[in-house]
């Protein structure tokens, strides 16, 4: 399974070039739930903290406010929203 990637320090220039500010937003309260990505999603985390654990038992990925995250097509596992989450996102 392809891994989730996290850029913990994306430049303002990169975010502007990607048009992140115009992407839709999504939020989720503290919770745990399963998810399967049916597209590749790129997200910029505005608020919160989350840990995602793949269903295949490989290493989990943690991200937080300020991170640029890519969730690959086909990733399956669970979200653990540790602090209320808000993100901009785009599917490709």
Supply the CATH classification number for the domain 5-91. 2.60.120.10
Per-residue confidence (pLDDT) for residue 1, from 0 to 100: 60
- pLDDT for 4-38, tens place per residue? 999 999 999 999 999 999 999 999 999 999 999 99
Nearby residues of 59 by Cβ (< 8 Å), 6 or more positions away: none
- pLDDT for 56-65, tens place per residue? 989 999 999 9
pTM equals 0.94
∠ CA 5-27-18, nearest 5°, is: 50
User: Where exactly are the structural domains of the chain?
Assistant: 5-91
Neighbours of 87 (CB within 10 A): 24
- pLDDT for 73-91, tens place per residue? 999 999 999 999 999 999 9
């Amino acid at each position: 399974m392809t891994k989730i990637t996290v850029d913990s320090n994306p430049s303002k220039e990169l975010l502007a070039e990607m048009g992140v500010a115009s992407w839709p937003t999504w939020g989720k309260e503290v919770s745990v739930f399963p998810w399967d990505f049916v597209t590749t999603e790129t997200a910029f985390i505005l608020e919160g903290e989350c840990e995602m654990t793949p269903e295949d038992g490989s290493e989990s990925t943690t991200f937080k406010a300020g991170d640029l995250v890519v969730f690959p097509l086909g990733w399956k596992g669970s979200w653990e929203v540790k602090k209320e989450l808000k993100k901009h996102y785009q599917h490709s």
